[in-house]
Chain A
Amino acid sequence: MREVLEAYPGAQRALFRGYHIGGCSSCAFHSEETLDQLCLRNDNLDVEQVIAHIVRSHDEDQQLLIAPAELAGSMKRGDARLVDIRTREEWEAARIEGARFFTQELLQEMLSKWPRGELLAIYDHQGTKSQDAAAYFQGQGFQNVKSLRGGIDAWSQEVDPKIPRYRLE
């Protein structure tokens, strides 16, 4: 699987979205096992179909993105929920108004109570980890989940310059 992930960086997101594999430690796969073995122990999935699904993942990753201005519009209309997955230190340094800070408790609330059809947007610093988070929630049944393109850094450049930009050292 290590080689699969090297060749297709979006493969893990695709596997979780499509087959609920690799999302948490209880459904994780091992770096050393083959895709064939992984399919075999997961209800004997059709390997060819799984490969085709992984190859399509790049396009799906692109569809997961939401532009800062588009999200700002949804936030203004009150039809989006926004979750911040950065560290607490980053959250305290700068945040987008209306966002909720991601914690273990919030995860449980989201999985048990949040409507699956509403727009759920996730952001991080620059839009890298939020892709994984969006795919995770998609695999948990959230039908309209997006990752903020460029993260809070892009938001402060394109939507709200009052939010200070920062870098991590």
Chain B
Amino acid sequence: MDSELEKRVAEAMSNPRNMGEMAGADAVGTVGSPGCGDMLRMWIKFREDAGKKVIDRATFQAFGCETAIAVASLATEMIRGKTAEEALGLSGEQLAGELGPLPPMKIHCAQLVEGALRSALAPAGTEAAGPVAPGPEQAESLLDKFTQPGSQGAKPRIVFVKPGS
């Protein structure tokens, strides 16, 4: 990560906005690889504004790179007051906003936020939902390795070992 971007990500991370689950949300969207559980989840609440249904507020929870969290923090601010259609029209690059242009290896972080937004706002199967491409099989990530203890079948049973045995 270049130092300028690192600085901007650090700024966004020092005061992340809209983190956490939202009770009573009107829409919820999740993106992540099948083996990885919830990667980035976004909750959206609408309100009526001059006869239009606009986004009142949005919150998120994320597992992953801090760039993805920084982008989600900025994006959830940016989409306030927008209609679902307007929010869906924003590209990953636009959602990254003040983080500025992302280097190629970080673009996927913004695309992840774009994906979560699309998942929340566009019902699956519609044109706006976009193609659901499963993609090639991903190797288990480091985060998966220590956050998914129960993913390999039934939960193991804890058996205490007697001292001295």
Residue of chain A at shortest CB distance from B73: A112
Pairwise interchain contact A24-B64, C-beta atoms closer than 8 A = yes
- Judged by a CB distance under 8 angstroms, whether B75 is at the interface is no
Pairwise interchain contact A89-B139, C-beta atoms closer than 8 A = no
Tell me which residues across on chain A come within 8 A of B61, comparing CB atoms: 104-105, 108
Pairwise interchain contact A43-B141, C-beta atoms closer than 8 A = no
Choose among B1, B65, B160 the residue that contacts A26 (Cβ–Cβ < 8 A).
B65
Tell me which residues across on chain A come within 8 A of B39, comparing CB atoms: 24-26
CB distance from A97 to the nearest CB of B (A): 18
Residue of chain B at shortest CB distance from A108: B19
List A residues at the B interface (Cβ < 8 Å): 1-2, 5, 12-13, 16, 20-33, 41-43, 85-87, 89-90, 93, 102, 104-105, 107-108, 111-113, 124, 129-130, 132-133, 135-136, 139-141, 161, 164-169
Q: Mark B101-132, 1 if CB is under 8 A from A, else 0.
A: 00111001101100000000000000000000
Tell me which residues across on chain B come within 8 A of A113, comparing CB atoms: 14
Tell me which residues across on chain A come within 8 A of B143, comparing CB atoms: 23-25, 136
Tell me which residues across on chain B come within 8 A of A23, comparing CB atoms: 64-65, 141-143
CB distance from A134 to the nearest CB of B (A): 9
Residue of chain B at shortest CB distance from A2: B139
- Give the 8 A-B residue pairs with the shortest CB-CB distance, closest first: A24-B64, A168-B156, A25-B36, A25-B33, A133-B146, A165-B161, A132-B145, A129-B146
Pairwise interchain contact A111-B69, C-beta atoms closer than 8 A = yes
Pairwise interchain contact B163-A132, C-beta atoms closer than 8 A = no
Choose among A24, A93, A112 the residue that contacts B142 (Cβ–Cβ < 8 A).
A24
How far, in whole Å, are A129 and B62 apart by their CA atoms in the complex? 21
How far, in whole Å, are A153 and B146 apart by their CA atoms in the complex? 17
Tell me which residues across on chain B come within 8 A of A33, comparing CB atoms: 136
- Judged by a CB distance under 8 angstroms, whether B133 is at the interface is no
Choose among A20, A25, A105, A112 the residue that contacts B144 (Cβ–Cβ < 8 A).
A25
Name the interface residues of B4-55: CB closer than 8 Å to any CB of A: 13-14, 16, 19-20, 32-33, 36, 39
How far, in whole Å, are A133 and B147 apart by their CA atoms in the complex? 9
Choose among A31, A104, A107, A136 the residue that contacts B138 (Cβ–Cβ < 8 A).
A31
Tell me which residues across on chain A come within 8 A of B156, comparing CB atoms: 168-169
How far, in whole Å, are A140 and B158 apart by their CA atoms in the complex? 32
